[in-house]
């Protein structure tokens, strides 16, 4: 089998439709950011996070996804499906603010569905939503009514960012297509705008040397069948290392800016959707976060507890992940996190959502002190608490006392 070719994995259509509707309703009702994701490109809204604003740096969002793909390469199909749910939610908001729901419903019933793609007003609004939300510069380049297919080009997208960073840090990857998440988002948006089941494949990609990425979308009545290509574990590791190198150089102000901002709604929804799949997902999230934290502090060449906490504080603030503060006591370290990227504006859903960040803290201080630490998320605003809080305890009960006394 040619490993370079996209693989088609079928997903039960009825199960997907049930999941999509259920998740869309839950996210809309409980996540403030998901109620505004389709509105902010066209209308000013009050920020959920007063200090950091409602955008995070795309580098951290990419690091999060890449960390999970390092753990399980087949998660690429899960991220595609989650992308469809995110796209479904974002387009729902767009329909409301632009007041075009009746128009799209009418077009879908007339059988003239593909005529709408030639409407410049609708395409302009669609492209504006993508560009404003940091998705990419999106352009419709082909409408094939006979085969029920569309072609879009993506420029300045996540794939371009990953390739730029990989090239800068001499990360020798195979440069296979990397737009699985954007493919899912775009298909999800088509499904709520025009009905039916949409899937896609990537026909051109910056990663393989093309000047832009190109996605072919197709309308069909069968099972969900994305055509995406998981990369080998080693390549996700190389990409993750390159992203971390860039993050540390950003902190040290020794590199040029790469990438921009993306709405927190995307990370919030994906993080929740992952954690809600099973209890084991929380363990996985903590583990991949710990791997990231270890590599961050190792790359920064930090060897003390205080410097590690300050480093993570700077990184979280720089990437708009959250505002971190900490208190050292003889028995434990209390880390408080305000305006968390994962829980800000979330109703009390009885969950702790910042487990990935707890893992980063755990890995960071473990690497710096060469002592094993356990970091537990004890409070979260998504669990009805006033703020997010982590308790950090060392397996060696005297380690903090020794550190505090010098």
Cα–Cα dist 401/108, whole Å:
68
Under DSSP, is residue 10 helix (H, G, I), strand (E, B) or coil? coil
Cα–Cα dist 113/124, whole Å:
17
> What's residue 128's pLDDT?
79
Cα–Cα dist 139/125, whole Å:
11
Under DSSP, is residue 213 helix (H, G, I), strand (E, B) or coil? strand
Cα–Cα dist 244/238, whole Å:
10
Is beta strand 149-155 parallel, antiparallel or unpaired with respect to 213-220?
A: antiparallel
Please give the domain boundaries of the chain with CATH numbers for all domains.
Answer: 7-244 (3.30.1380.20), 282-405 (3.30.1380.20)
Task: Take residue 42 and report the two structure tokens written for it.
Answer: 């066209």
Residue 17 pLDDT class (50, 70, 90 cuts): low
**Radius of gyration of the chain measured on its C-alpha atoms:** 22
> What's residue 96's pLDDT?
60
| pLDDT at residue 230 is higher than 60 | yes
| pLDDT at residue 112 is higher than 80 | no
Span 329-346, pLDDT tens digits: 888 999 999 999 999 999
> What's residue 293's pLDDT?
98
Poorest-confidence range of 33-42, 107-116, 129-138, 153-162?
107-116
Residue 374 host element (H or E): strand 373-379
> What's residue 150's pLDDT?
92
Span 268-326, pLDDT tens digits: 999 999 999 888 999 999 999 999 999 999 999 999 999 999 999 999 999 999 999 99
């Amino acid at each position: 089998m040619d490993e370079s070719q996209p693989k088609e994995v079928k997903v039960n259509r009825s199960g997907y439709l049930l999941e999509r509707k259920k998740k869309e309703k839950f996210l809309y009702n409980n996540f403030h950011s998901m109620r505004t994701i389709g509105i902010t490109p066209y209308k000013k809204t009050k920020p959920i996070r007063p200090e950091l604003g409602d955008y995070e740096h795309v580098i951290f969002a990419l690091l999060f996804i890449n960390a999970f793909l390092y753990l399980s390469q087949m998660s690429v199909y899960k991220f595609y499906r989650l992308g469809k749910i995110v796209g479904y939610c974002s387009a729902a908001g767009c329909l409301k603010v632009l007041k075009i729901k009746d128009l799209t419903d009418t077009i879908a019933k007339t059988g003239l569905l593909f005529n709408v793609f030639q409407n410049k007003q609708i395409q302009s609004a669609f492209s504006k939503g993508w560009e404003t939300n940091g998705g990419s510069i999106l352009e419709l380049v082909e409408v094939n009514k006979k085969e029920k297919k569309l072609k879009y080009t993506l420029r300045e997208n996540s794939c371009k960012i990953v390739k730029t960073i990989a090239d800068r840090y001499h990360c020798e990857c195979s440069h296979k297509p990397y737009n699985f998440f954007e493919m899912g988002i775009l298909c999800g948006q088509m499904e709520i705008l025009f009905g039916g089941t949409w899937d896609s494949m990537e026909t051109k990609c910056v990663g393989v040397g093309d000047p832009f990425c190109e996605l072919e979308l197709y309308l069909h009545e069968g099972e969900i069948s994305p055509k995406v290509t998981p990369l080998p574990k080693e390549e996700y590791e190389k990409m993750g290392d390159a992203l971390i190198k860039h993050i540390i150089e950003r902190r040290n102000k020794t590199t040029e800016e790469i990438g921009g901002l993306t709405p927190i709604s995307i990370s919030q929804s994906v993080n929740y959707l992952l954690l809600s799949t099973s209890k084991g997902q929380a363990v996985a999230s903590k583990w991949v976060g710990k791997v990231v934290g270890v590599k961050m502090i190792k790359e920064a060449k930090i060897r003390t507890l205080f410097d590690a906490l300050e480093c993570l504080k700077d990184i979280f603030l720089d990437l708009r992940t959250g505002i971190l503060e900490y208190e050292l006591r003889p028995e434990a370290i209390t880390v408080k996190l305000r305006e968390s990227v994962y829980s800000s504006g979330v109703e009390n859903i009885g969950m702790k959502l910042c487990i990935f960040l707890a893992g980063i803290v755990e890995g960071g201080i473990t690497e710096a002190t060469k002592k094993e630490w356990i970091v537990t998320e004890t409070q979260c605003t998504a669990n009805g608490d006033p703020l997010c809080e982590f308790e950090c305890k060392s397996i060696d009960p005297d380690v903090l006392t020794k550190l505090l006394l010098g």
